[in-house]
Structure 1
Amino acid sequence: MPAQHGPRRARIAFSDAAAKQLENITSEVELHALDRALVVLSVDPDVGTPIPGTSTGPQLRQYTDDIEHVRILYFVTALRTVVVVAYIEV
């Protein structure tokens, strides 16, 4: 019997600004909190709330985890296979 796999996860990519923010995180606690938030986004990219703006580009969304104290601004590609992180707050 073939093994059942869970839902396909989106790949996480970082904008240049977010990658620079990521480099500045040195605390293991903060990295762990960020990792947990990124897993949530990869499983369900629609979990965040839309940020009002123009409709000319991809819809910017915000995910906030109040328990881990993480805020991520991101957008999802058209095929919903990649989540692009634009801003990180830990």
Structure 2
Amino acid sequence: MIKRLTLTSAALAALLALAACGDQPQEISGSGVKQDGAPYTGVGKSQYAQGGWTTGDKTSWEQQLKARAQYGQNDYVRVGAQPK
């Protein structure tokens, strides 16, 4: 009885171990990898676009990023305190 239980357990373990070998490769079908565009190209006309930035203009994009970092994310400027 115990010998049969051990044999059944071993066979079940071997079956589970071999089941992992049956995994199929997962590949994306289609034309390939989609490349993103440059961030300053934008998404076209949008009501959520920041004013003063023109779509496709890298210089105005960089100026908007600098302004946002300076006035929106710099706590010293927002509060009016000077850094120590």
Q: TM-score range by the shorter chain?
A: under 0.3
More strand by share: 1
More helix by share: 2
Instruction: Answer 1 or 2: higher relative contact order, Cα 8 Å, separation at least 6.
Output: 1
TM-score, length-normalised on structure 1?
Answer: 0.25
TM-score, length-normalised on structure 2?
Answer: 0.27
